[in-house]
Amino acid sequence: MKYSYVSNLYCPKCGTRFNTREQHQLCSCGTPLLVDYDLETLQMNLTAEELKSRDDSLWRYHELLPVEDSENVVSMGEGMTPLISLSNLGEEMCMENLFMKDEGLIPTGTFKARGAAVGVSKAKEVGVKELAMPTNGNAGSAWALYSAKAGLKSTVVMPKDAPEITRKEVALSGANLYLVNGLISDAGKIVGKAVKDYNLFDAATLKEPYRIEGKKTMGLEIAEQLKWKLPDVIVYPTGGGVGLIGIYKALKELKKLGWVKGELPRLVAVQSTGCAPIVKAWEEGKTESEFWKDSSTLAFGINVPKALGDFLVLDAIYNTDGCAIAVDDESIIFEQEKLAGLEGSFVCPEGAATFAAIRRLRKQGWIEQNETVVGLNTGSGIKYPQSVKVSPKMLEKGDTI
Amino acid sequence: MKYSYVSNLYCPKCGTRFNTREQHQLCSCGTPLLVDYDLETLQMNLTAEELKSRDDSLWRYHELLPVEDSENVVSMGEGMTPLISLSNLGEEMCMENLFMKDEGLIPTGTFKARGAAVGVSKAKEVGVKELAMPTNGNAGSAWALYSAKAGLKSTVVMPKDAPEITRKEVALSGANLYLVNGLISDAGKIVGKAVKDYNLFDAATLKEPYRIEGKKTMGLEIAEQLKWKLPDVIVYPTGGGVGLIGIYKALKELKKLGWVKGELPRLVAVQSTGCAPIVKAWEEGKTESEFWKDSSTLAFGINVPKALGDFLVLDAIYNTDGCAIAVDDESIIFEQEKLAGLEGSFVCPEGAATFAAIRRLRKQGWIEQNETVVGLNTGSGIKYPQSVKVSPKMLEKGDTI
């Protein structure tokens, strides 16, 4: 039996198809490429039941991933993160079935490891020797560390304001690290130039087609962990939006395979009021977003003023009767404390934004009491120490409490 | 079928037995209590094969854990952390079968979550309402966060030099947090007094009997992940040593169940040259350690000058023909960089100490080329940003690389 049922790459705008054995970036029309699989044949050769006894990493879904030879898999055990029942927080929000998919429990501490594991493995398979990327921090650390394990060289450019821990991860991996006095869009321009000057593989969001496939596994896992019964709503903090695009792609593939049935979950994109281009586009009924000027939010991972895949995110929302919603920094801080105090989870600000949005959508009645809702926490709060202020009591030796 | 096959608590020194339905701390003779199970009956009712289809958390071993009613389980999906093949580092060290058990991929980012999950669940089961503990940081954050989820109050006292992120985790959980201008032993004295003054449950290392049971699951998982074929050597960074005690206990229970056969692995305790009481005791053939004066190491988690369970650690080493070895801070930093650059893993300093010790033991011939060796990385490097120094190159907008 084949390790992967990948068939080809295709452009979602102009329809051109490409071979998965060669290196590809964007389509010649400038659009991100997507990956297609031979689902008809796979359906005859694999049942959902057979997955049960497999290893608990995202590679359990290798037939639905693009790596064609298992020898090329670069893995640190990523995937099958917990789907945790939040009964205490749910009770407070008057919700009976609230879950958190906790992407803090993955190498490098954020969901970016999924895209990196699959993206780097496939890059290795198609002969990439050196890659470069701009990043808000976490994708850079994931790609740099997976590249190190794969034996690939990497160059990473990030804003100087990106979380400090991520520059340490990149440096420790042995990658070339540059900080830029600007935003991720400025880093992107520098990388774009370097890619041309030095003939590097461009691993920027959606400029290579395989990161989505890694992110997709969040959707596959949610379905399997809920025993192939889809939730009513999935809520995702949206910067570049690749996770949401990937989850949507996963759910459609599962439907084609017949492993899930019925309506797809309503997909919700959460942004910050300080950077909400997709929310604005959705509110105006548009199919693409506009660049958000002077963006600012403490949830650094969703500070993306214009996402290359915005049209795919909006497509996923429209097609599932989902919505887009913005929350402010104050409600993010409030929700982060709620999650720690009620559920023991120290989530990242982006993850807190997810649950701040759920709280609001429930209050508005957009989410109903008995609906099954899965919120994504995209990373561990440990990576964001500055988001918590403490003033502990000081004692001397021999003092008493 | 019963959820747990726990039978009783017993004192490994005087032999007194205690009931597991009541709250217990140390034996009246001052010794840490251990937990016993009815392995004879369990052996008739469960096979190792049946575990395969269970959820991938440490609760898959619930029959071998002390929580008697599943309703009392407080879980955030902890356990079944990856056992990663380190082929690149292994090749460099001339080892064919080197593995890392990565305890960074667990709630709160360190293996302390195992002890907290089981300890807090059992505390809840026996009616504890409020607990207190001294900590070098990570155990405190794990116990505070699990207590929050369980609805228990907690008081945590840690040295002011403990990793800063851990005080933020404790504060965010809503626990009472105190910093002490001293060592964990000073924190311990303050907690000991508070426990008496306010009638709190003392959750200090080994002062409650169930933390070991949580740590034990590392040993159960290693055995299961290696398909019930035990490795030749297990290497563990040793502060309080509860992990090593737990792993040893797990392996003995598995042998009694007949799920594993043959010799137990040689167990290795790794300490820092700046705090090596157990190494000194082992070198002198003693059964207990002496307080290590003016201890100091950057691997803060193993800065424990005198462990309450030292006699149990030494017992485990002697009985398995293991050894104890100290490594210096310089070799820890060296190995941390090696692990990131060759394997993509950003390990904590304690985890780096493990592999520094393995490198040395291999060089000395104590470990042979074809032996299967499992090293424990007890936590994510993300929690220790200060252990990595970087000097990244700065760019302005529009610069080129």
Tens-digit pLDDT profile for residues B226-248: 999 999 999 999 999 999 999 99
| Integer Cα distance of A293 and A328 in angstroms | 17
The answer to whether the Cα torsion of A3, A8, A9, A15 is positive or negative is negative
Task: Give contacts of B 216-275 with A, CB under 8 A.
Answer: none
- Pick from B106, B165, B392: which is nearest to A171 by CB? B392
pLDDT in tens, B277-325: 999 999 999 999 999 999 999 998 899 999 989 999 999 999 999 999 9
Outline where DSSP puts E strands in A241-388.
266-272, 323-327, 372-377
Distance from CA of B131 to the nearest CA of A (A): 14
CB A366, CB A267: distance < 8 Å:
no
Q: Which of A102, A155, A167 sits opposite B390 (nearest CB)?
A: A167
**What pLDDT does residue B386 have?**
86
B199 close to A (CB below 8 A): no
CB under 8 Å to A195, separation ≥6 — which residues? A132, A201, A202
Least confident range of A285-294, B167-176, B266-275, B386-395: B386-395
Nearest chain B residue to A226, by CA: B55
Q: How confident is the model at residue A283 (pLDDT cuts 50, 70, 90)?
A: very high
Single-letter code of the amino acid located at B105: L
pLDDT in tens, A215-250: 999 999 999 999 999 999 999 999 999 999 999 999
Written as six digits, the tokens of B378 are: 């007890």
Q: Please, what is the end-to-end C-alpha distance for chain A in angstroms? A: 65
Provide the shortest C-alpha distance from residue A161 to chain B (in Å): 12
Q: Look up residue B38 and give its amino acid.
A: D
- pLDDT tens, position by position, B353-368: 999 999 999 999 999 9
pLDDT of A339 reads: 98
Structure tokens at B70: 């599943």
Q: Which of B202, B198, B34 is nearest to B132 (CA)?
A: B202
Q: Is the Cα dihedral B138, B143, B146, B148 positive or negative?
A: negative
Task: Give the separation between CA A88 and CA A90, rounded to whole angstroms.
Answer: 5
Q: Which run of H or of E encompasses B377?
A: strand B372-377
Yes or no, beta carbons of A340 and B398 under 8 Å apart: no
- List of residues 6+ apart from B314 with CB closer than 8 A: B278, B281, B282, B286, B287, B288, B289, B324
* Cα within 13 Å of Cα(A178), Cβ side: 25
> Under DSSP, is residue B283 helix (H, G, I), strand (E, B) or coil?
helix
Identify whether the C-beta of residue B179 lies closer than 8 Å to the C-beta of residue B161. no
Whether residues B340 and A148 touch (CB distance < 8 A) is answered with yes
Using pLDDT thresholds of 50, 70 and 90, give the confidence band for residue B53: confident
d(CA B5, CA B20): 11
Provide the 10 A C-beta neighbour count for residue A293: 8
CB of A131 within 8 Å of a chain B CB? The answer is no
Predicted confidence band at A53 (pLDDT cuts at 50, 70, 90)?
Answer: confident
Contact between B8 and B18 under an 8 Å Cβ cutoff? The reply is yes
B329 touches chain A (CB under 8 A): no
Q: Percent helix, strand and coil across chain B, each rounded to 5?
A: 45, 20, 40
Residue of B49, B59, B76, B391 to mutate, interface with A, max A Cβ within 10 Å: B76
Interface with B, mutate which of A58, A168, A179 (most B CBs under 10 A): A168
Alpha-carbon gap, residue A269 to B207, rounded angstroms? 47
CA distance B41 to chain A (A): 26
Write down all domains in chain A, each with its CATH number in brackets: 83-107+211-387 (3.40.50.1100)
Query: One-letter amino acid identity for B10?
Result: Y
- Name the token pair of B305: 């000058």
Sign of the torsion angle spanned by Cα atoms B62, B66, B72, B77: negative
Are residues A390 and B171, on separate chains, in Cβ contact within 8 Å?
A: yes
- The verdict on B105 touching A (C-beta cutoff 8 Å) is yes
Indicate the helix (H) or strand (E) that contains B338.
Answer: helix B329-343
Residue B390: pLDDT band with limits 50, 70, 90? confident
Label residue B91 by pLDDT band (50, 70, 90): very high
Q: B397 and A197: CB-CB below 8 Å? A: no
Measured CA angle at A365 (ends A360, A369), to 5 deg:
95
CA distances from B177 to A372, B45, B188, B304 (A): 36, 45, 14, 21
pLDDT > 90? residue A390? no
pLDDT in tens, A324-350: 999 999 999 999 999 999 999 999 999
- The 10s digit of each residue's pLDDT in B124-160 is 999 999 999 999 999 999 999 999 999 999 999 999 9
Nearest to B318 by CA among B290, B346, B281, B366: B281
Does the beta carbon of A154 lie under 8 angstroms from any beta carbon of chain B?
no
Mean pLDDT of chain B: 96
- Min distance B378 CA to chain A CA atoms (Å): 14
Q: Quote the CA–CA distance of B393 and B401 in Å, as a whole number.
A: 10
**CA-CA distance, A101 to A104, in Å (whole number)?**
9
* Residue A47 to residue A63: CA distance in whole angstroms: 11
Residue B192 at interface with chain A, using a CB cutoff of 8 Å: no
Q: What is the dihedral of CA B281, B376, B219, B307, to 10 degrees?
A: 30
Q: Reply yes or no on whether the pLDDT at B174 is more than 90.
A: yes
Say whether B173 and A102 touch across the interface (CB within 8 A). no
**Dihedral angle over CA of A360, A363, A365, A368, nearest 10:** 90
CA distance from start to end of chain B: 65
Q: At A181, phi and psi to the nearest 5? A: -80, 70
- Rounded mean pLDDT of B60-89? 98
Tell whether A121 is within 8 A of chain B (Cβ): no
Q: Which residues of B touch A342 (CB under 8 A)?
A: 148-149
| DSSP H or E segment with residue A283 | helix A277-283
pLDDT at A82: 98
Give the list of residues 6+ apart from residue B210 with CB closer than 8 angstroms, or none: B35, B66, B115, B118, B119, B122, B123
Considering only CB atoms, A346 lies closest to which of B145, B180, B198, namely B145
Q: How many CB atoms lie within 10 A of CB B373?
A: 27
- Can you tell me the distance from the alpha carbon of B312 to that of B324, in angstroms, rounded to the nearest whole number? 13
Q: What average pLDDT does the segment B77-94 reach?
A: 98
Q: Residue A183: pLDDT above 90?
A: no
Which range is most confident: A49-58, A126-135, B51-60? A126-135
Kindly list the residues from chain A whose CB atom is less than 8 angstroms away from the CB atom of residue B399.
Answer: 180, 190
CA distance A179 to chain B (A): 5
Measured between beta carbons, the chain B residues lying within 8 angstroms of A193 are 400-401
Q: Does residue B5 surpass a pLDDT of 90?
A: yes
A-B contacts (CB, under 8 Å)? 249
Q: State the DSSP code for A132.
A: E
Nearest to A271 by CA among A283, A263, A254: A283
- A48 at B interface, C-beta within 8 A: no
Q: Which H or E run includes B85?
A: strand B83-85
Q: Distance (Å, rounded) from C-alpha A22 to C-alpha A5?
A: 16
